[in-house]
A = this chain, B = another copy of it.
Amino acid sequence: MVRPAMKRSTKQAILDAAEELFADYGFAATSLRAITAAAQVNLAAVNYHFGSKEALIDAVFARRVEPMNRARLEALHELQTAFVDAIVPLDRLIAAFVEPALALSHDRTLGGQRFVRLLGRSLTEPAGAVHDSLRGRYVEVSEQFKSAFARTLPELPAVELYWRMHFMVGLLAYLMAGVDIMRLIASSRMSAHSEYDAVLPRLVSFIEAGMRAPVNADDTVSDLHPVSGAQL
């Protein structure tokens, strides 16, 4: 704690290396040997500082998730004080939720793209204890934004809001995880357009339109298949 700060502490070196390797290869496929080698520390240091590999995974997440969710809640609070007695614009609400996550991919000091990939991955990986420690901080964010969206979109039924927020989270998770998947769909030289500057406004307006989509009274599943018949 009262470290000279001359050289990056062993603990931090381990966290940085683990973050990078976890993001690249997944949790199970990353060995403590690879982590300690990359961090240029001794193999035993991980178990000394963190106790176990599982605890190290938790620590990697705890370092980044807390600030991100705090940024989301702060942005939401700023909006709510800026729009007292008025309706918070939908695009700003979406941006408040989405931007702190995407911002991680820019700002080096926040951990950079390394962690962004890792976070996205953790949403689809059954990382056990990771989910539990993430869930604790996330439910607050989720609830606050749900209320805020409900106020901005008062005519939207709760069930629809639930699904659409779900879609929003999904889209975000994918964008965070799937940087290299762009080539799957791209296959052309469009990769030049992949700057992250371009993604935020496009993502926000896509989500905004989806949030404002008309609500179908009855599900139109069957209407969707006059040709192929009801195959769902």
Q: Which residues from chain A sit less than 8 Å from chain B, CB to CB?
A: 24-29, 75, 78-79, 82, 91-92, 95, 99, 102-103, 106, 120-121, 123-126, 131, 134-135, 138-139, 142-143, 158-160, 162-167, 169-171, 173-175, 177-178, 181-187, 190, 193, 197-210, 212-214, 216, 219-221, 224-225, 227-228, 231-232
Of B95, B159, B174, B205, the contact of A173 (CB 8 Å cutoff): B174
**Nearest CB of chain B from residue A168's CB, rounded to whole Å:** 9
**Nearest CB of chain B from residue A126's CB, rounded to whole Å:** 6
- Residue with the highest number of chain B CB atoms closer than 10 Å, among A102, A175, A206: A206
Asked if B78 and A228 make an inter-chain contact with CB atoms under 8 angstroms apart, the answer reads yes
Of B91, B163, B177, the contact of A202 (CB 8 Å cutoff): B163
Chain copies in complex? 2
Give Cα A125 to B24, complex, Å: 9
A-B residue pairs in contact (CB < 8 Å), sample of 6 = A27-B29, A125-B125, A139-B187, A169-B181, A171-B174, A201-B220
Residues of B contacting A99 with CB < 8 Å?
A: 224, 231-232
| With A160-B202, A214-B205: A26-B125 Cβ-Cβ less than 8 Å | yes
| With A28-B28, A178-B170: A190-B159 Cβ-Cβ less than 8 Å | yes
What DSSP secondary structure best describes chain A's contact surface?
A: helix
Give Cα A154 to B61, complex, Å: 44
Residues of B contacting A184 with CB < 8 Å?
A: 131, 134-135, 138-139, 142, 169
Closest to A163 in B: B202
Closest to A141 in B: B185
Asked if A91 and B125 make an inter-chain contact with CB atoms under 8 angstroms apart, the answer reads no
| With A99-B232, A123-B181, A173-B174: A213-B219 Cβ-Cβ less than 8 Å | no
Give Cα A182 to B182, complex, Å: 25
